[in-house]
Amino acid sequence: MMELTRKGEYAVRGIIHLARQPYGNVALLSDIAEEAEIPQTFLAKIFQNFAKLGFINSYRGTGGGFSLARPASAITLRQVVEAVEGPIAPNRCVTQGGECDRSAACVVHDVWRRVQLQTLEILDGVTIEELARKSK
């Protein structure tokens, strides 16, 4: 239950691998995909999205590729996960504009809210830099 999808896993692995490059270095999609063991075309979609969101820069043509658009220490795990999976919420009633009409009546609401806040706190506290720094 409540599992990250492949896309989410790939997104995290992909950006970690990118963050392990020397800063400013432009890496090929094909290289990152191979290193991180991710289907290249799938990773392409994910990185396209990251580029739009300003996490990474993309360069086309010969010598092109991807690089981080800001220091890895300024990108949190939460940002990456939410970018691909959408807002983190253990159930519908705690999403922004959540359609929990029963919100008042919904006695489990606070519980889910607590789960959400705890999770966000953890994921906010982890940066891609920390993850990239770890061995391997």
Q: Which residues bind DNA (CB under 7 A)?
A: 5-7, 28-30, 39-42, 44-45, 47-48, 51-52, 58-66
77 binds, among a second copy, DNA, none (CB under 5 to 8 A by kind): a second copy
Q: How far is the CB of 83 from DNA (least distance, A)?
A: 14
In the complex, the smallest distance separating the C-beta of residue 105 from DNA, rounded to whole angstroms, is 18
Query: Considering the complex, what minimum distance in angstroms separates the CB of residue 29 from DNA?
Result: 4
80 makes contact, choosing from a second copy, DNA, none, with CB < 5 to 8 Å by partner type, with: none
Kindly write down the DSSP assignment for every residue of 9-70, as one continuous string: HHHHHHHHHHHTSPTT--B-HHHHHHHHT--HHHHHHHHHHHHHTTSEEEE-STT-EEEESS
**Side chain identity, residue 38:** I
Q: Select the binding partner of residue 71 from a second copy, DNA, none (C-beta < 5 to 8 A, by kind).
A: none
How many of the other CB atoms lie within 10 Å of CB of 46?
Answer: 21
Least gap, CB of 91 to a second copy (angstroms): 4
